[in-house]
C-alpha cells in the first residue's frame, strides 16, 4: 500500500531528524503520541461542537432578550469598581455604591444598571457592557425565561403534547415493527437481504419528501378521500390533514425503519432451537412467542423505542407540515421562538427544558448501547 | 419466502411494505400528472420535469447541497473513523465514558436542539475569535460534519469489532509500527465500512433541513430548505418531479452497490476455494 509506506517513511524521516537535533526531540516528546492524536482529534471535535454548545445554550437561557445582534445580553458584564458583584434586583445601586471616584462613570453605570434590572426597559440597552468602564464584573443570572416557561400554559401543554404524541407513535411503531422484524428474521435467507434492503431504502431517500407524500394522501381532495368518495363510502371528505392523526402517521412512517432494524438484529441472533424445544414440550406458538421471543427481543425493543421516542419528542418538521395549529409540539415551539419571535434566550430555555425531559430516556438508551457494545467485543 | 411464516405474519409483512412504499409510489405516479392539482389526474405529462430543470432556485440549491454534503461527509468520514477506531481498540483511557456518551448522543438528540446549540456556539465563537465570520456554507458544513460523524463511527466501530485482530497482531509481531499497521492492514479491510459511512453521511447531510435552517446565513439555501419553504405552502407538482428524480437516483445507486458487493463476495469465495485447493 503506497499510502502506508509513505506515512511510515514520513515518521521515519522525522525520527531521523530528531536524532540529529536534540531540541527537536524534546519538542517531539511534548507532542502527543500517535495513540494520543487518534483519541484527541475526535475528542476535541466533539467537545468543541457537541459539549460546549450545550453549555452556551444553558448560559444564554439565563440571559435577557434584547433587540440587538446577537439578540441577548451578556450575563457577565464588566463594570467600574474593581470587584465582582452579583446581581441583586432589589438593590439597583449595587455597583455604583463601590465606585464614586469618577462621577461621570458612576452615573453611566448606575443608569445602565437601572435599565438592566427593570425588565420592561431592558429592550433599550443594545447589549454589551458600558464601553468606558473597566475593572470588575457584574454577573447576572436571569431566571425570568424559566419563570416565563412555567407561567405560560402554552409551554407545558406543548411539552405534554409532544411526550404524548411521541409515546403513542412509539407504541404504534412497535405494533407494526415487531411482526415485520419477526417476519423478516424468519424468512428464507434468499429473501432476507432483499426485505432488509427494502426497509433501509426509504431511509436513504429524502425524509422531507416522504413527509410531503402524506400531504397528497391525506388532504381533503387527496388520494384517500378521492377513493372513498369514488367508492361511495362517504359524501364529504374526511378532514385528516392538519390534525393530530396526520402527525401520528407522519412520525410512525418516518421512524418505522429505526424501530425495525434493531428489532431485526436481536431477533435474527435468537436461537431458534429454543422455540422448537418449547413446541416439542407442547407450547402453543403464540405462547412461545410471548414467553421466549419477546423477552429475548427486549434489548432490541428498548433500542428501537428510544430511537423513535427521543427524536420524536423534539420533532419539528412533521407537526409543521402535517399538523394543524393546535398540534403544538415542544420542538415546534422552540423553532417558533427562534425563527418567528427571534427570542433566543427563551428558545434556549425551551431547549434546556427538552433536554431535562429527555435525560432519562437518553441515559437508558446509552446504557443499553454500552451493554450491547460490551457484549459484542 | 413463506417457509415457516404463518399467513398472519405474511399478511402483516405485505401490509407493512405497502405502508412504506405506497406514499412513495403515489409521489412518482402524480409527478407525471398534467394537472396542476397534484392529486387530481389530468393526463400523462412530463412538463413538471422541464419546469424543474428551468427552476434556477432549485438548481442552485441542488448544487450547494451536493457541495456541502461532499465536504461534510468527507470530514465526518475522517473524524468518525478515528472515533470508531478509538471506541473499538482503546479499551481504557481518561474520559472514555464521556467520549462514548458524546459519540452516541447525537444519534438520538432532537434536531432542533443540535441546531440551536451549534448556532449559539458559532455566534459565541464569532464574538470571541472573530471566526467563523457570519453564518453560511462554512457553518452548515461544520454542523453537518458533527452530526454525521457519529453515524460513521458507529459503522466503523461495528466493522472493527468483527475484524480478526490476529492480522494486526501478526503485522506488529513482525515489526510493523502501529501507524503502518493501520494504513497497510486495517484501513484496506475497513475501507468498505468507511465508504458506506461516507455514503450515509452524504445522504444525511443532503437530507437535513432543521440543522441547516438554524445554521444558515444569507445566500446559503440548501435543497431541503428550498423544498421545505415551498411545501409549507401546499402541494407542488415540481416537488413531485424532484422527489421522483431523487428516488430514482437513490434506488439505482443502491441497486448498483448491492450488485457490486455480491459480485465481490462471490469472487472472494472463489479465491478462497482456489487457495484451499492449492494448499492441498
**CB-CB: which of A35, A176, A366 is closest to B101?**
A366
Q: Where are the domains of chain A?
A: 76-140, 149-376
Decide if A221 touches B, using CB distance below 8 A.
yes
Position A298 scores a pLDDT of 86
Residue A224 has pLDDT above 70, yes or no: yes
What is the distance of C-alpha B9 from the center of its chain? 31
Chain B touched by A310 (CB under 8 Å): yes
Distance CA(A184)–CA(A180), nearest Å, equals 6
Domain ranges of chain B: 55-236
Residue A355 sits at the chain B interface (C-beta within 8 Å): yes
User: Quick check: helix, strand or coil at residue B33?
Assistant: strand
Give pLDDT, residue A115.
37
| Residue A169 in this model has a pLDDT that exceeds 90 | yes
For residue B148, give the chain A residue with the closest CA.
Answer: A46
Interface of A with B in 3-62 (CB under 8 A): 3-5, 7-8, 11, 34-35, 38-39, 41-43, 45-54, 56-57, 60
The alpha-helical segments, DSSP class H, found in B94-165 are 96-104, 111-129, 137-162
Packing angle, helices A330-339 and A344-376, rounded to 10: 140
Q: Output the CA–CA distances (angstroms, integers) from residue A6 to A1, A42, A244, B180, B232, in the order listed.
A: 9, 24, 60, 9, 53
* DSSP tally for chain B: helices H, then strands E: 12, 0
User: Rounded CA gap, A100 and A236, in Å?
Assistant: 77
Q: Which of A219, A42, A267 shows the shortest CA–CA distance to B157?
A: A42
pLDDT at A119 over 50: no
Distance between first and last Cα of chain A: 28
pLDDT for position B136: 84
| Ranges under pLDDT 50 in chain B | 1-2
Of all residues in chain A, what percent carry a pLDDT higher than 90?
Answer: 13
Q: Is B37 on the interface with A (CB under 8 A)?
A: yes
Q: Using CA atoms, how far apart are residues A103 and B112, in angstroms rounded to an integer? A: 48
C-beta atoms surrounding A111 within 10 Å = 13
What angle do the packed helices A344-376 and B111-129 form, to 10 degrees? 110
CA distance B209 to B206: 9
Q: What tens digit of pLDDT does each residue of A72-88 get?
A: 776 665 554 444 444 44
The terminus-to-terminus CA distance of chain B in angstroms comes to: 39
Given a cut of 90, is residue A168 above it in pLDDT? yes
Residues of A in contact with B5 (CB under 8 A): 183, 186-187
> Quick check: A214 contacting B, CB < 8 Å?
yes
Interface of A with B in 224-243 (CB under 8 A): 226
| pLDDT grade for A171, boundaries at 50, 70 and 90 | very high
The answer to whether residue A257 scores a pLDDT higher than 50 is: yes
Q: Are B125 and A61 in contact (CB under 8 A)?
A: no
Mean per-residue pLDDT, A354-367: 84
Facing A205 at nearest CB: one of B80, B143, B246: B246
According to CATH, the superfamily of the domain at A149-376 is: MetI-like (1.10.3720.10)
Round to whole Å and give the CA distance between A312 and A162: 8
pLDDT of A214 strictly over 70: yes
Chain B CB within 8 Å of residue A253 CB: yes
Residue with the larger pLDDT of the pair A125 and B128: B128
Name the pLDDT band for A89 (thresholds 50, 70, 90): very low
Give B155-197 pLDDT, tens digit per residue.
Answer: 999 889 888 888 888 888 888 888 888 888 888 889 888 998 9
Separation of CA B221 from chain center: 20
Which residues make Cβ contacts (< 8 Å) with residue B55, sequence separation at least 6? B238
The pLDDT assigned to B84 comes to 92
The mean predicted confidence, pLDDT, of chain A is: 76
CB contact (8 A) between residue B177 and residue A11: yes
Question: Could you say which DSSP state residue B3 is in?
Answer: T
- The 3-state DSSP class for residue B38 equals coil
Residue of chain B whose Cα is closest to the Cα of A193: B258
Q: Provide the β-strand partners of residue B44.
A: B33
All residues of chain A having their beta carbon less than 8 Å from the beta carbon of residue B105 are 50, 362, 366
Please report the beta strands in chain B, taking only residues with DSSP state E, as ranges in sequence order. Answer: none
Q: Looking at the complex, report in whole angstroms how far the Cα of residue A131 sits from the nearest Cα belonging to chain B.
A: 16
Could B121 and A45 be called an inter-chain contact, meaning their C-beta atoms sit closer than 8 Å? no
CB B10 within 8 A of CB A183: yes
**Which has the higher per-residue pLDDT, A201 or A120?**
A201
Listed residue (B112, B215, B29, B31) closest to A318, CA to CA: B112
Which of A44, A50, A61 would best serve as a mutation to test chain B binding (most B beta carbons within 10 A)? A50
pLDDT at A188: 83
pLDDT over 80 (residue A352): yes
Do you find a cis peptide bond into A70, omega within 30 degrees of 0? yes
Which CATH superfamily, name and number, covers B55-236?
MetI-like (1.10.3720.10)
The answer to whether A207 contacts B79, with C-beta atoms less than 8 Å apart, is no
DSSP-derived letter for residue B143 is H
- pLDDT, one tens digit per residue, over A296-339 is 888 889 889 998 999 899 899 999 999 888 888 888 888 888 88
CA nearest to A62, candidates A351, A331, A360:
A351
For chain A, give the secondary structure using H, E and C.
CHHHHHHHHHHHHHHHHHHHCHHHHHHHHHCCCHHHHHHHHHHHHHHHHHHHHHHHHHHHHCCCECCCCCCECCCEEEEECCCCEECCCCCCCHHHHHCCCCHHHHHHHHHHHHHHHCHHHHHHCCCCCCCCCCEEEEECCCCHHHHHHHHCHHHHHHHHHHHHHHHHHHHHHHHHHHHHHHHHHHCCHHHHHHHHHHHHHHHHCCHHHHHHHHHHHHCCCCHHHHHHHHHCCCCCCCCCCCCHHHHHHHHHHHHHHHHHHHHHHHHHHCCHHHHHHHHHCCCCHHHHHHHHHHHHCHHHHHHHHHHHHHHHHCCCHHHHHHCCCCCCCHHHHHHHHHHCCCCHHHHHHHHHHHHHHHHHHHHHHHHHHHHHHHHHC
B7-31 vs A207-218: helix axis angle to the nearest 10? 90
- State the pLDDT confidence band at A25, using cuts at 50, 70 and 90: low
Per residue in A263-289, pLDDT (tens digit) is 998 888 887 788 888 888 888 888 887
Q: What is the complex's ipTM, to 2 decimals?
A: 0.85
| Chain A positions in Cβ-Cβ contact with residue B231 (cut-off 8 Å) | 208, 212, 215, 321
pLDDT, position A269: 83
Chain A residues 96-155 with CB within 8 Å of chain B: none
CB contacts < 8 A, A to B, total: 271
Cα separation, A173 vs A167, in Å, equals 10
Name chain B contacts of A323, Cβ cutoff 8 Å. none
A116 or A360, which is more confident: A360
Decide: B245 and B206 in contact? Cβ < 8 Å.
no
Amino acid at each position: 500500500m503506497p499510502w502506508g509506506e509513505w506515512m511510515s517513511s514520513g515518521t521515519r524521516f522525522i525520527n531521523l531528524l530528531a536524532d540529529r537535533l536534540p531540541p527537536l526531540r524534546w519538542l517531539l516528546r511534548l507532542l502527543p503520541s500517535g495513540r494520543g492524536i487518534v483519541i484527541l482529534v475526535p475528542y476535541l471535535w466533539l467537545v468543541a461542537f457537541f459539549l460546549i454548545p450545550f453549555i452556551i445554550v444553558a448560559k444564554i437561557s439565563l440571559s435577557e432578550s434584547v433587540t440587538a445582534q446577537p439578540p441577548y445580553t451578556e450575563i457577565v458584564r464588566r463594570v467600574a469598581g474593581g470587584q465582582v458583584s452579583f446581581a441583586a434586583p432589589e438593590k439597583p445601586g449595587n455597583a455604583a455604591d463601590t465606585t464614586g471616584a469618577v462621577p461621570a462613570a458612576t452615573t453611566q453605570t448606575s443608569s445602565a444598571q437601572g435599565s438592566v434590572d427593570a425588565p420592561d426597559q431592558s429592550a433599550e440597552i443594545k447589549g454589551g457592557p458600558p464601553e468606558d468602564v473597566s475593572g470588575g464584573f457584574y454577573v447576572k443570572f436571569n431566571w425570568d425565561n424559566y419563570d416565563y416557561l412555567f407561567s405560560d400554559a402554552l409551554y407545558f401543554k406543548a411539552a405534554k403534547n409532544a411526550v404524548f404524541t411521541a409515546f403513542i407513535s412509539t407504541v404504534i411503531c412497535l405494533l407494526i415493527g415487531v411482526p415485520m422484524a419477526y417476519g423478516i428474521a424468519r424468512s428464507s435467507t434468499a429473501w432476507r437481504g432483499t426485505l432488509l434492503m427494502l426497509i433501509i431504502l426509504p431511509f436513504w431517500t429524502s425524509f422531507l419528501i416522504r413527509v410531503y407524500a402524506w400531504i397528497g394522501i391525506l388532504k381533503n381532495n387527496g388520494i384517500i378521500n378521492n377513493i372513498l368518495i369514488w367508492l361511495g363510502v362517504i359524501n364529504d371528505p374526511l378532514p385528516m390533514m392538519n390534525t393530530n392523526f396526520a402527525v401520528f402517521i407522519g412520525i410512525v412512517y418516518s421512524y418505522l425503519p429505526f424501530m425495525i432494524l434493531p428489532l431485526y438484529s436481536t431477533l435474527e441472533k435468537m436461537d431458534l432451537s429454543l422455540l422448537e424445544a418449547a413446541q416439542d414440550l407442547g407450547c402453543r406458538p403464540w405462547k412461545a412467542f410471548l414467553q421466549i421471543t419477546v423477552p429475548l427481543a427486549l434489548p432490541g425493543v428498548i433500542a428501537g423505542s428510544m430511537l423513535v421516542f427521543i427524536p420524536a419528542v423534539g420533532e419539528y418538521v412533521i407537526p409543521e407540515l402535517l399538523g394543524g395549529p393546535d398540534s403544538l409540539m415542544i420542538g415546534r415551539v422552540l423553532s417558533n421562538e427562534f425563527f418567528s419571535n427571534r427570542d433566543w434566550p427563551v428558545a434556549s430555555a425551551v431547549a434546556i427544558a427538552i433536554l431535562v425531559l429527555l435525560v432519562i430516556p437518553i441515559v437508558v438508551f446509552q446504557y443499553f448501547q454500552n451493554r450491547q457494545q460490551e457484549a459484542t467485543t | 419466502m413463506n417457509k415457516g411464516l404463518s399467513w398472519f405474519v405474511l399478511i402483516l409483512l405485505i401490509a407493512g411494505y405497502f405502508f412504506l412504499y405506497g406514499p412513495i409510489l403515489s409521489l412518482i405516479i402524480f409527478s407525471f400528472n398534467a394537472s396542476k392539482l397534484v392529486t387530481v389526474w389530468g393526463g400523462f405529462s412530463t412538463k413538471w420535469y422541464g419546469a424543474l430543470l428551468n427552476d434556477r432556485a432549485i438548481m442552485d440549491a441542488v448544487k450547494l447541497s451536493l457541495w456541502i454534503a461532499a465536504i461534510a461527509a468527507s470530514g465526518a468520514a475522517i473524524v468518525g473513523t478515528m472515533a470508531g477506531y478509538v471506541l473499538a481498540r482503546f479499551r481504557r483511557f481518561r474520559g472514555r465514558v464521556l467520549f462514548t456518551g458524546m459519540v452516541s448522543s447525537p444519534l438520538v438528540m432532537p434536531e432542533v436542539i443540535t441546531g440551536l446549540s451549534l448556532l449559539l456556539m458559532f455566534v459565541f465563537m464569532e464574538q470571541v475569535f472573530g471566526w467563523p465570520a457570519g453564518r453560511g456554507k462554512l457553518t452548515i458544513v461544520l454542523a453537518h460534519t458533527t452530526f454525521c460523524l457519529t453515524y460513521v463511527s458507529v459503522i466503523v466501530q461495528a466493522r472493527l469489532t468483527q475484524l480478526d485482530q490476529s492480522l494486526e497482531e501478526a503485522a506488529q509481531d513482525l515489526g510493523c509500527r502501529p501507524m503502518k499497521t493501520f494504513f497497510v492492514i486495517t484501513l484496506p479491510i475497513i475501507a468498505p465500512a468507511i465508504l458506506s459511512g461516507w455514503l450515509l453521511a452524504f445522504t444525511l447531510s443532503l437530507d437535513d433541513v432543521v440543522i441547516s435552517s438554524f445554521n444558515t446565513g444569507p445566500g446559503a439555501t440548501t435543497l431541503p430548505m428550498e423544498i421545505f419553504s415551498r411545501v409549507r405552502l401546499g402541494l407542488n407538482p415540481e416537488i413531485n418531479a424532484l422527489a421522483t428524480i431523487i428516488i430514482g437516483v437513490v434506488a439505482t445507486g443502491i441497486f448498483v452497490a448491492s450488485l457490486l458487493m455480491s459480485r465481490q463476495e462471490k469472487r472472494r469465495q472463489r479465491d478462497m476455494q482456489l487457495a484451499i485447493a492449492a494448499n492441498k
